[in-house]
């Protein structure tokens, strides 16, 4: 094992995706010395780098913005905040064009520049270059394993392991931002392998709460052999293995569309037919979504002439809404010194009960990143290299009983199944949610009691613990919200209940705690 790496900075950003990069850039522009630690390689890791993200992009016209906010508020079903919507629209419109020196924005076809939609791989490379130009120290393949806190319980940095050097690292920071993305529970969703809920677990170990975790059911329809996330299925027809057409509602039907597909997939293979797709799509798909066409080329399939098998890939809290609870307009969590941004934070503030997937989540990642970065830079405490700091990590690092070998692959598969099995996820009901919560609780107890690893081996164990914890919070919140609201659909409670028009705050590790958002109720 290599020599320990010890650093200090004003602002530590944990993560390497869109929100993390914008947070680091904003903190550096505010004058802070910034370090960013990424589990992967900043510029290629995360779901943005494999997609074609669009941004919620509305010109500086009060009437247009009011209309956009009104439409989004309707989708949010009472759980969003219009002041936050207005803020992220303004920040996205102001700051996305500043990427122009590093990103080749295209034409809008009317003599202007098209800023809203970007190509994920180039976008993330550009953000990396932007951050480096602002003086950010980027540490790739440096996963964080636990947060550090001082005697006042203020988060003051993090500890992790440098994979390439096989060395522990310790970074003291005046303020820390969790921008670790969401959790797809190892569903196979493209770009999500590193999205295991690490930030949720680290935040909860520090005492932070979460919100919106019940809004965690989102799926992407993709070719069965490879997740693409982006192939347009609007004009698709679907068939079973015998060639009989399946009655599937339009994708615009949302959950009903996925329910019909999931029900058919439980019975056997399902095939998509895109022969009726718009004629303009095939010639341009390789330019707007190169990763989509590559998967078909490798399989030797022409998706517009041949039927192909499809399946639903779970997106968990990536296209969902939940994450660490945000207390104010500056992306603070309930823990001193700790901020959250992007998918690591709740998107209820702008998405409410609806999926934040696509444009809203991208705008949220950019704007929440910048908000957290500026606030963290402004509030960073001076670094005291001689101060005593305590590691807050527990499960996977410090077992409560005798350390034992764990079937990590089997546990991960079980956790993913309880979150994304079509029968459980698409047809939520009290009996199945209760059974899942019992099993997930047993998984957490076993990992916390017996999981222990050091060095690089601690990373997969901590990821497993994070997935187990996240699945419990999602399931407990889904069980408590006995209504159907937005993407949270309960087949045993199919109606929206006015008495449930509040956010659900969840937290705790060995014991899951739930309560309504009293501050929201008071404000109403």
Q: What is the DSSP string of 142-180?
A: --EEEEEE-TTS-EEEEEEEETTTTEEEEEEEEEEEE--
- Give the tens place of pLDDT for each residue, 209-230: 999 999 999 999 999 998 887 6
The answer on pLDDT for 392 being more than 70 is yes
Residues 6+ apart with CB under 8 A from 521: 502
479-489 mean pLDDT: 96
- The domain made up of 5-216+317-391 has a fold known as FAD/NAD(P)-binding domain (3.50.50)
Q: Report the alpha-carbon distance of residue 516 to residue 503 in Å, rounded.
A: 6
Higher pLDDT, 520 or 131: 131
Residue 282 has pLDDT above 90, yes or no: no
Per-residue pLDDT at 250: 87
- Please give the helix or strand (H or E) that residue 507 lies within, else none: strand 504-507
Residue 524 — very low, low, confident or very high, per pLDDT cuts 50/70/90? very low
Per-residue buried b or exposed e for 190-218, using 16+ beta carbons within 10 Å of the residue's own CB: bbbbbbbbbbbbbbbbbbbbbbbbbbbbb
Q: What pLDDT is recorded for position 251?
A: 85
Residue 97: CA count within 13 A, CB half-sphere: 9
Q: Range with the lowest mean pLDDT among 25-29, 173-177, 353-357?
A: 353-357
Select from 462, 478, 490, 494 the least CA-distant residue to 205.
Answer: 462
Residues 464-489 have a mean pLDDT of 97
* Partners of residue 273 on adjacent β-strands: 237
Cβ–Cβ < 8 Å for 150, 389: yes
Lowest mean pLDDT among 2-11, 49-58, 123-132, 262-271: 49-58
Provide the pLDDT for residue 22. 98
Q: For the chain, give the mean pLDDT.
A: 94
The answer to whether residue 520 scores a pLDDT higher than 70 is no
Q: Which fold has domain 219-314?
A: Flavocytochrome C3; Chain A, domain 1 (3.90.700)
Predicted confidence (pLDDT) at residue 359 exceeds the cutoff of 80 = yes
For 503, what's the count of Cα atoms within 13 Å in the CB-facing half-sphere?
Answer: 33
Cα–Cα dist 346/356, whole Å: 10
Q: What is the mean pLDDT of residues 232-245?
A: 91
Q: What is the pLDDT of residue 521?
A: 45
Helix residue spans in 212-358 (DSSP H): 255-267, 281-288, 290-299, 348-351
Contacts of 203 (CB under 8 A, 6+ apart): 147, 178, 210, 324, 333, 335, 338, 340, 344
DSSP H helices, 380-457, are 408-420, 422-426, 430-450
Residues 6+ apart with CB under 8 A from 445: 510
C-beta separation of 32 from 376 below 8 A: yes
Compute the residue count for the chain: 524
**What are the residue ranges spanned by the domains of the chain?**
5-216+317-391, 219-314
Percentage of the chain lying above the pLDDT 90 cut: 83
pLDDT given for residue 518 in this prediction:
65
Helix residue ranges per DSSP H, 11-144? 18-29, 62-76, 82-95, 120-133
Nearest one of 389, 459, 383, 377 to 136, comparing CA atoms: 377
The CA-based dihedral angle spanning residues 107, 109, 114, 117, taken in that order and rounded to the nearest 10 degrees: -110
Closest CA to 156 of 264, 23, 11, 268: 11
Q: Which helix (H) or strand (E) holds 211?
A: strand 210-211
- Summarised one tens digit per residue, pLDDT across range 416-442 is 999 999 999 999 999 999 999 999 999
User: How sure is the predictor about 287, in pLDDT bands with cuts at 50, 70 and 90?
Assistant: confident
Distance from C-alpha of 517 to C-alpha of 503, rounded to nearest angstrom: 5
In the block, which residue shows the tokens 């990143």? 369
């Amino acid at each position: 094992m290599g020599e320990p790496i010890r650093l200090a900075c004003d602002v530590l950003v944990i993560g390497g995706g869109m929100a993390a990069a914008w947070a680091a850039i904003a903190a550096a522009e505010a004058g802070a010395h910034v370090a960013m630690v990424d589990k992967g390689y900043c510029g290629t890791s995360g779901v943005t780098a494999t997609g074609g993200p669009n941004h919620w992009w509305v010109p500086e016209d009060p009437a247009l913005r009011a209309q956009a906010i009104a439409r989004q508020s309707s989708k949010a079903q009472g759980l969003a905040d219009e002041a936050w919507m207005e803020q992220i629209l303004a920040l996205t419109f102001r700051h996305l064009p500043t990427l122009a020196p590093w990103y080749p924005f295209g034409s809008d076809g009317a003599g202007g520049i098209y800023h809203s939609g970007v190509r994920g791989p180039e976008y993330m490379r550009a953000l990396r270059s932007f951050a480096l130009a602002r003086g950010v120290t980027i540490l790739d393949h440096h996963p964080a394993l636990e947060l550090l806190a001082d005697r006042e319980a203020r988060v003051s940095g993090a500890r992790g392991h440098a994979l390439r050097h096989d060395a522990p690292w310790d970074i003291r920071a005046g303020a820390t931002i969790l921008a670790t993305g969401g959790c797809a529970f190892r569903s196979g969703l493209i770009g999500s392998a590193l999205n295991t809920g690490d930030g949720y677990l680290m935040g909860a170990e520090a005492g932070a709460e979460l919100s919106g975790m019940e809004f965690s059911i989102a799926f992407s329809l993709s070719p069965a052999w490879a997740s693409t996330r982006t192939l347009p299925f609007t004009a698709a027809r679907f068939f079973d293995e015998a060639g009989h057409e399946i009655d599937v509602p339009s994708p615009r039907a949302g959950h009903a569309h996925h329910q019909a597909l999931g029900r058919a997939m439980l019975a056997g293979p399902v095939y998509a037919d895109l022969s009726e797709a718009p004629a303009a799509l095939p010639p341009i798909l390789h330019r707007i979504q190169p990763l989509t066409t590559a998967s078909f080329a490798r399989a030797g399939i022409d998706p517009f002439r041949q039927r192909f098998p499809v399946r639903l890939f779970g997106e968990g809290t990536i296209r969902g809404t939940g994450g660490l609870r945000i207390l104010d307009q500056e992306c603070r969590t309930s823990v001193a010194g700790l901020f959250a941004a992007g998918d690591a934070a709740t998107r209820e503030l702008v998405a409410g009960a609806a999926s934040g997937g696509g444009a809203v989540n991208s705008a949220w990642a950019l704007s929440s990143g910048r908000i957290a970065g500026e606030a963290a830079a402004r509030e960073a405490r001076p670094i005291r290299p001689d101060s005593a700091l305590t590691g807050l990590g527990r499960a996977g690092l410090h077992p409560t009983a005798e350390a034992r070998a764990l079937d990590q692959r089997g546990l991960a598969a079980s956790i993913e199944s309880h979150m994304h099995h079509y029968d459980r996820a698409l047809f939520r009901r009290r009996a199945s949610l209760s059974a899942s919560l019992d099993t997930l609780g047993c998984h957490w107890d076993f990992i916390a009691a017996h999981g222990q690893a050091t060095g690089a081996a601690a990373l997969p164990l901590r990821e497993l613990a994070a997935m187990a914890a996240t699945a419990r919070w999602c399931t407990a919140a889904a069980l408590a919200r006995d209504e159907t609201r937005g993407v949270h659909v309960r087949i045993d409670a199919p109606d929206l209940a006015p008495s449930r028009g509040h956010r659900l705050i969840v937290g705790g590790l060995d014991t899951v705690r739930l309560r309504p958002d009293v501050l929201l109720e008071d404000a109403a």
